[in-house]
Amino acid sequence: MKHFLRMLFQVCLYFYCKFLWRCLKFVMRKLTGRCELQRICYNTKPGASRTMKIETSLRDSKSKLLQTSVSVHPDAIEKTIEDIMELKKINPDINPQLGISLQACLLQIVGYRNLIADVEKLRREPYDSDNPQHEEMLLKLWKFLKPNTPLESRISKQWCEIGFQGDDPKTDFRGMGLLGLYNLQYFAERDAAAAQQVLSDSLHPKCRDITKEEISKFSKAEWEKKRMDKAIGYSFAIVGINITDLAYNLLVSGALKTHFYNIAPEAPTLSHFQQTFCYLMHEFHKFWIEEDPMDIMEFNRVREKFRKRILRQLQNPDMALCPHFAASEGLINM
């Protein structure tokens, strides 16, 4: 009975707040002479802050046109904006900036949804050793990471040198499908020097200096073990697939909206996602060294701590995880 009453109270509170919010919007329109979309576009700077407010406003609108505008085809965005202006009785000649701002926001919103679909398609496609394109990508990954070491054969223990678990990497792609391979190849090709350095460090890790404060946290037995042990490395390719899983979940959950809406002046693309993967690989590698785990069994703990740190960063509406990859200079104040 208590559970039912609690549920009933929450439902009543929801509808009360929704009714109150609609009343407030009506009063604000009468006072300012502008609809909510106008107020957001004119009072909020471009980027994630504006786009996420526009997205929420459209999605929560009672108008079917506004609700469906967040999922239209990119080619229909211009016509959709004209329909919204007509519905809101806004003269585009008097308010030309509104149409430009709405278009920029809708391109990002629709583009994010389409990016999820593109990434999901790659994730669902399994690696096929009978597919020449798949095999070519895998062999290129080896060449980019080990340019001075020829691969002796397709099935080879050499694959362990770049962090696969066995003599045939195809079995390691099961969780993330082709998406894992696409990301690893992108990192190895587009950021070759950094990828090769991360690979080298993962195979030959270096101990970082431990401060006196950190020493005090260890028990005597733990400190003796830590002092005698070498730094712990990790399997580069397997971690890359694992970080792909992290990037995928951040994307699907909507957590990456902050980042993409700040770096992509229009629709975020697969390249933006892969650049984000490169950033996460860089940052996880540094984080792993900072954490200096006792053994590889601590990987899940370190990964979870890293995930929480990234999520905290993404809660900042001005956050761009990798601004050096960004097209943020093209983010005009629309």
CA distance 228 to 222: 10
Q: Which amino acid is at 139?
A: L
In 3D space, the residue among 326, 266, 260 whose CA is nearest the CA of residue 103 turns out to be 266
- The predicted-structure confidence for 291-309, as pLDDT tens digits, reads as follows 888 888 899 999 999 999 9
The whole-number pLDDT of residue 232 equals: 77
Q: Is 143 exposed, middle or buried (0-12, 13-18, 19+ CB in 10 A)?
A: middle
Mean pLDDT of 226-246: 81
| Residue whose C-alpha is closest to residue 118's, from 268, 277, 302, 333 | 268
Q: Per mean pLDDT, which of 17-26, 61-70, 86-95 is the most reliable?
A: 61-70
* Mean residue pLDDT across the chain: 84
- Poorest-confidence range of 197-206, 244-253, 268-277? 197-206
Which residues are CB-neighbours of 224 under 8 A, at least 6 positions away? none
What pLDDT, on a 0 to 100 scale, did the predictor assign at position 288?
Answer: 93
pLDDT over threshold 70, residue 1:
no
